[in-house]
Chains A and B, each alone.
Chain A
Amino acid sequence: MKKSIAVLLLGLVAAAALIAAPIKVGLVTDVGGIDDKSFNQGTWEGIKLFAKENKLKEGVDVKYLQSTADADYIPNLSTFADEKLDLIVAPGFLFEEAMKTVADQYPKQKLLIIDSVVQKPNVASAVFAANEGSFLAGVAAGLKAKADGKDTIGYVGGMKFPLIENFQAGFEQGVKTVLPNAKILVDYSGSFTDAGLGQALAAKQYNAGAYIIYQVAGGCGNGVIKEAKERSAKGDIRWAIGVDKDQYADGIYAPGKSAILTSMMKRVDVASHDVAVMVRDGKFPGGQTLVFDLKSKGVGLPATNPNLSAAIIKEVEKYTALITSGKLKVNSVQ
């Protein structure tokens, strides 16, 4: 009975495209928080876009819960499940265990996990070919260093697990492809939140001669960007590469000048938005794994890169075509 009413409602909605589907979406953030300028924020922006398109009210139809500690993941997910939201989104691999538990406890609840695969009939999983986008970031970094006569490039990761090592693998391959004798410095901070630690590691790598640092460390990576800004503002030009979102604006240290060379965009916003649309249309991909790669534009560099020369952009486009056509295979760690 309930189901047939739902089907009827969906039919009505499809008929009158102007009326918004009455669906509710909730996001549970990890400890990084909603304003981490990367992962959680990106996912939330996708949901906000969905809300705007469907005239849903923020804070009522779409809302978020922030977690303070690991121990909050399950109660936060359960609270939304008790409210019977149509879709609950959790960004991140760190949610894996909590997601499994909640999926079993609420078998009718539609769930989306990003960056991890949870094999349950009511969970959709979205994963990203971060190595492919990182390869392009590596190409851009290598060419920029080459153009300016430098040879040292850095990489600062957050917690060291395969998902993040995958960024490193693609990036290193990209750098070495265009600059075979490049020296690549690698550090992992062990944190996605500690900006101070990120800045300390960036200072260490810049002192060791790094010209460009690729940061894959969420809130901790903001410290890397800060160090690049502070040095560049003093005339010692250094670059940082943003991650997850286009972080150009975060790197601005003087009018018209940003320390962000480019960003490896991981379109978590596309993932959360698209799955919300699928739920609205009654096509929830439960039990399936959606892969977002360079070909589906789920990863890649931003549309505009003010700090990259036309020649570098052209090279990046060449490698993009090679990867999407399958002619070039990017290394991966999974």
Chain B
Amino acid sequence: MSKRNTTRLLVPLVAILLGFALGALVLIVTGRNPGAMFLAMFQGATGVNLKAGSFNPRYIGEFIIQSMPIMLSGLSVAFAFRTGLFNIGAEGQLIAGSVAATAVALWVEAPPVIHVLLVLLAAAVVGGLWGAIPGFLKARFNIHEVVITIMMNYLALFLNNWMVLYVFGSKDRIKTALFPATALLKDDALSALTNGSRLNWGFVPVLLSVLLFWFVIEKTTFGYSLRAVGFNKDGARYAGMRVERNMVLSMAIAGGFAGLAGAVLTTGTFNYGRFLPGAEGYGMDGIAVALVGGNGAFGVFFSALLFGMLKAAQPLMQSQGVPKEIASIIQASIVLFIAMSLGIETLISKLRKQKIEALGEEAGV
């Protein structure tokens, strides 16, 4: 591996380690036991309770459940970012996707597998359209996508709530009727396999999305022209690439990933459409996931697992007297350290130099 590549891998790893160290430090300073936190995280990811020596696969299932939506919203943010666009709207695209998923789940009758596929397709398409709007406004009128996507998050939230209350006809005013079994990603076999967790088939579209992201961005001409726009818009235009079209398409695909997350949540984690009192933070988590994952498919995959583990470990941590805010502190400081990547890189190269010099001295040069 070349030196540049190792540095590229080392920087996030160092940032992650520093994040955990900072979290542990906060615990020590506030008089709590950081050991309990690490034990809880280990149990959250593996289901193994080192202290009691017991194993409960339910935690593995919940760990995957927590990782899936943020993996997709992370892909969404990362995809737009590769084209030089900052998609703060993953939250709204996700909600738009869940509205579409709810509509197809409730209104369409179809045989088992086909119904689920229709739900996923509808969510991805509507999420994509929701993402394409700010993409179009950016390409056509040069309106900044950050402003539009944030505003559209609220539009999606209130649209969802209005639909749940008045269109889907909520009886208790917090959720729609339960979906028919044909529309669900839920599967009793998967749940039984993990001791009654909510594990469902949602991981299949999630993993396919990771592969699709990698293939499109790294292996196709289209992906190359998207990245070219991200590197230098004017250069790409000069080279004859259709910058405006690429912006709209990039935002549409980004929205599609987020919309899919809406379907995975609505028909996998839940089995009904929900009234949302406020944003749930999946979009914001997606930004963190994308940043830490370096906006690459596999980087996003691993960083979503990391943040999913932090989420999944929260009940265990709290039960051991570790406040849930610690997980947020760790997450935030990892992002912060990633943002300071230049500093970390300098640090690494300095350490390397010292080592080389030390080696040199030893050799008597």
B173 in the interface (beta carbon within 8 A): yes
Task: Indicate if the CB atoms of A66 and B318 lie closer than 8 Å.
Answer: yes
Q: Is A160 an interface residue (CB 8 A)?
A: yes
Give per-residue flags for B170-181: 1 if the beta carbon is below 8 A from chain A beta carbons, else 0: 001111000000
Q: Chain B contacts of A59 at CB under 8 A?
A: 321
The interface residues of chain A lying within 8 Å CB-to-CB of B319 are: 26, 63, 65, 79-80, 83
Within 8 A of B (CB), among A90-107: 93-94, 96-97, 105
**B278 A72 Cβ-Cβ under 8 A:** no
- A61 CB–B CB distance under 8 Å: no
**Is A222 on the interface with B (CB-CB < 8 A)?**
no
- Chain B residues with CB under 8 Å of A162's CB are 172-173
Shortest C-beta distance, A98 to chain B (Å), equals: 10
* A191-B279 Cα distance, complex, nearest whole Å: 11
Query: Could you tell me which residues of chain A, from 78 to 125, have a CB within 8 Å of some CB in chain B?
Result: 78-80, 82-83, 93-94, 96-97, 105
- B34 within 8 Å of A (CB atoms): no
Asked whether, in the complex, the Cβ of A97 is within 8 Å of the Cβ of B278, the reply is no
Are A160 and B173 CB-contacts (below 8 A) given A78-B196, A194-B277? yes
CA distance A192 to B173 in the complex (A): 14
Find out whether the CB atom of B315 lies under 8 angstroms from the CB atom of A65.
Answer: yes
Contact call B312/A192, Cβ cutoff below 8 A: no
Complex Cα distance, B223 from A260, in Å, reads 61
Partner of B281, one of A66, A69, A105, A158: A69
Chain B residue numbers with a CB within 8 Å of A83 are 319
**What distance in Å separates the Cβ of B323 from its nearest Cβ neighbour in chain A?**
8
Instruction: Give the nearest-CB partner of B325 in chain A.
Output: A66
B272 an interface residue at 8 Å Cβ cutoff? yes
Q: Does A282 contact B (CB under 8 A)?
A: no
Q: A71-B269, A78-B58, A97-B272 are in contact. Are A193 and B278 (CB under 8 A)?
A: yes
Residue-wise interface mask of B (58-69) relative to A, using a CB-CB cutoff of 8 A (1 in contact, 0 not): 100010011000
Which residue of A65, A74, A76, A93 contacts B174 across the interface (Cβ within 8 Å)? Answer: A93
Complex contacts, A31 vs chain B, CB 8 Å: 277
User: Which B residues touch A194, using CB under 8 A?
Assistant: 277-278
Which A residue's beta carbon lies closest to that of B265? Answer: A71
Given A72-B315, A76-B315: A159 touches B324 (CB 8 Å cut-off):
no
Asked if B315 and A97 make an inter-chain contact with CB atoms under 8 angstroms apart, the answer reads no
Chain B: which residue is nearest A98 at the CB level?
Answer: B270
CA distance A191 to B311 in the complex (A): 23
B359 → A minimal CB distance (Å): 49
Once the chains are docked, how many angstroms separate the CA of A51 from the CA of B275?
36
Q: Are A65 and B318 in contact (CB under 8 A)?
A: yes
Q: Tell me whether B227 is interfacial, beta carbon within 8 Å.
A: no
The answer to the question of A68 belonging to the interface, with a C-beta cut-off of 8 Å to chain B, is yes
Residue in B closest to A160 when the chains form the complex, CB atoms? B173
A69 adjacent to B280 (CB under 8 Å): yes
A59 closest partner in B (C-beta): B321
Q: Report the Cα distance A74→B274, complex, angstroms.
A: 15
A287 within 8 A of B: no
B7 sits at the interface (CB 8 A): no
A82 — which chain B residues lie within 8 A by C-beta?
Answer: 56, 58
Q: A286 near B: Cβ within 8 Å?
A: no
Smallest CB separation, A237 vs chain B (Å):
31
- Are A94 and B318 touching (Cβ within 8 A)? no
Are the CB atoms of B277 and A191 closer together than 8 Å?
yes
The residues in A between 7 and 58 inclusive whose CB is less than 8 angstroms from any CB of B are 26, 31
Report chain A residues within 8 Å CB of B316.
79
Of B58, B174, B312, B318, which one neighbours A64 at CB under 8 angstroms? B318
Residues of A within 8 A of B174 (CB): 93-94, 159, 161
Contact check: which of B274, B321, B324 meets A70 at CB < 8 Å?
B274
Of the candidates B58, B265, B278, B281, the one having the most CB atoms from chain A within 10 angstroms of its own CB is B278
Pairs A–B under 8 Å by Cβ, sample size 13: A59-B321, A63-B319, A64-B318, A65-B315, A69-B280, A69-B281, A70-B280, A71-B269, A72-B315, A78-B196, A97-B175, A190-B277, A191-B278
> Beyond A63-B319, A161-B173: 18 further Cβ-contacts under 8 Å?
A59-B321, A63-B321, A65-B319, A68-B311, A68-B324, A70-B274, A71-B65, A71-B270, A75-B198, A79-B319, A82-B58, A93-B172, A105-B196, A159-B173, A159-B277, A162-B173, A191-B277, A191-B278
Report the 5 A-B pairs with minimum CB-CB distance, sorted nearest first.
Answer: A79-B315, A161-B173, A191-B277, A69-B280, A65-B318
